[in-house]
């Protein structure tokens, strides 16, 4: 029997495993309550957005307090945090109403992420070949 090997420290392994378990349970709940799934998805998505927004805000405050990084980078971190928190609050106030806009945002984010990953892989391949 093969075992799954995680890369990284023990805390990251635990976080990845716990996230996988929660997402598995969430997926099962969505499938079980199809008719009311928009409310559940919106509430969970809004909560996760608040969590991620708070992480972005923490990075911004850390950079500000410890004077790390460039000013333009810090401003982008603050904008990301505030936009993320604002959008998440909107989603939590009325999940079905704001869910469709979030789906569009998700699509754009996925396209951007795929493009960025492709560029990074191309750059790594080019660097290792040259």
pLDDT at 69: 67
Tens-digit pLDDT profile for residues 2-19: 445 545 567 777 777 888
**Structure confidence by residue, pLDDT tens digits, 55-93:** 888 888 888 888 776 776 778 878 888 988 998 998 899
Residue 73 has what pLDDT? 73
pLDDT at residue 1 greater than cutoff 50: no
pLDDT at 50: 92
Question: What's the CA gap between 107 and 15, in Å, rounded?
Answer: 26
> For the residues 113-128, what does the mean pLDDT come to?
83
The answer for residues whose C-beta is within 8 angstroms of residue 82's C-beta and 6 or more apart is 53, 57
Q: Looking at residue 95, what is its pLDDT? A: 81
Q: What is the pLDDT of residues 16-63, one digit of tens each?
A: 788 888 888 888 888 888 777 888 888 888 898 899 889 888 888 888
Give dist(CA 33, CA 2) in Å, integer.
34
The whole-number average pLDDT for the span 101-114 is 82
Distance of CA 48 to the CA centre of its chain: 8
């Amino acid at each position: 029997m093969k075992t799954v090997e995680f890369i990284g420290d023990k805390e990251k392994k635990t976080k990845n495993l716990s996230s996988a378990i929660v997402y598995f349970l969430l997926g099962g709940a969505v499938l079980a309550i199809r008719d009311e799934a928009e409310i559940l998805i919106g509430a969970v998505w809004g909560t996760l957005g608040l969590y991620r927004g708070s992480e972005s805000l923490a990075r911004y405050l850390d950079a500000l307090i410890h004077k790390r990084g460039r000013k333009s980078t810090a401003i982008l971190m603050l904008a990301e945090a505030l936009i993320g928190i604002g959008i998440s609050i909107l989603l939590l106030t009325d999940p079905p109403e704001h869910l469709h806009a979030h789906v569009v945002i998700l699509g754009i984010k996925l396209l951007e992420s795929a493009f960025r990953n492709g560029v990074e892989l191309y750059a790594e391949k080019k660097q290792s070949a040259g």
